[in-house]
């Protein structure tokens, strides 16, 4: 019996040892991520150069450069001095838009995309369009030129827009409704 008690005592002392950290069998240097970052920087630079070439061919249009990394021009700019409000977080905006390739080939023509109600920054919408709407006032129509990372990126829209495709979006903002306590529509 003493042997059994001694054995239990020894096992309990040895069993209370804290666990040791397991180390990985191999370690990655992170070079794959570094290479991917470089490829993406090159791709973005090429897209931006191409967009600038396309803009250079249209000398009649005054392009504006956004701080968010895309270009735009006004098709219809509000001249009403009382119309100064732009959408803010949570506001509901009502808008129509068309999407074309950078060269102007229609991808989603007028009427193909329904009029959309969108709760600013509370629903899903591709990055460039979300940022572009914040520049607009009620009644304005603006054409945006988005590099692919501001549009649908690597995945495209999984319908008509391919991977890493820069696009042009012509947007008409019909209405800005101030934020309310109602649930946004999807």
Chain segment 80-128, per-residue pLDDT in tens? 888 889 999 999 999 999 999 999 999 999 888 889 999 999 999 999 9
DSSP code, position 81: T
Q: Is residue 37 part of a domain?
A: no
**27 half-sphere exposure, CB direction, 13 A CA radius:** 3
Domain assignment present for residue 77? The answer is yes
13, part of any domain: no
pLDDT value, residue 183:
54
Q: Exposed, middle or buried: residue 100 (CB in 10 Å: 0-12, 13-18, 19+)?
A: middle
Q: Which two tokens stand for residue 6?
A: 């001694």
Model pLDDT, residue 86? 94
Report the predicted TM-score, pTM, of the whole model to 2 decimal places.
0.77
Q: Are strands 71-76 and 141-146 parallel, antiparallel or unpaired?
A: antiparallel
- Answer yes or no: are the C-beta atoms of 171 and 133 closer than 8 Å: yes
| Number of structural domains the chain divides into | 1
Among residues 79, 99, 179, 88, the alpha carbon closest in space to that of 139 is found at 79
Q: What pLDDT score does 83 carry?
A: 87
With respect to residue 90, please indicate whether it lies within any of the assigned structural domains: yes
Domain membership of residue 161 (yes or no) is: yes
CATH number reported for the structural domain that contains residue 159 in this entry: 3.10.50.40
Give the Cα separation of 24 and 44 in Å (integer).
35
Cα-Cα end-to-end distance for the chain: 73
Residue 79 lies in a domain: yes
What pLDDT score does 11 carry? 65
Segment-wise mean pLDDT, segments of 10 residues, the chain, 186 residues: 72 65 68 87 94 92 94 93 90 96 93 91 93 96 96 90 94 89 52
Give the domain range for residue 68.
Answer: 63-177
User: How many whole angstroms separate alpha carbon 179 and alpha carbon 186?
Assistant: 16
H/E stretch holding 167 reads strand 167-177
12 in a structural domain: no
């Amino acid at each position: 019996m003493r042997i059994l008690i001694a054995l239990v005592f020894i096992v309990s002392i040895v069993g209370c040892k804290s666990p040791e950290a397991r180390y990985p069998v191999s370690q990655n240097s992170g070079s794959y991520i570094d290479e991917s970052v470089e490829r993406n920087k090159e791709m973005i630079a090429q897209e931006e150069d191409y967009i600038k070439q396309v803009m250079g061919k249209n000398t009649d249009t005054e392009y504006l450069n956004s701080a968010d990394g895309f270009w735009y021009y006004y098709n219809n700019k509000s001249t009403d001095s009382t119309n100064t409000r732009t959408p803010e977080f949570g506001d509901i905006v009502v808008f129509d838009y068309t999407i074309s390739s950078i060269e102007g080939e229609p991808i989603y023509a007028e009427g193909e995309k329904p009029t959309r109600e969108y709760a600013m920054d509370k629903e899903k919408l591709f990055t460039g369009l979300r940022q572009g709407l914040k520049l607009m006032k009620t009644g304005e129509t603006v054409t945006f030129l988005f590099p692919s990372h501001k549009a649908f990126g690597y995945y495209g829209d999984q319908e008509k827009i391919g991977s890493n495709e820069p696009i042009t979006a012509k947007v008409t903002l019909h209405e800005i409704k101030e934020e309310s306590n109602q649930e946004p529509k999807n």
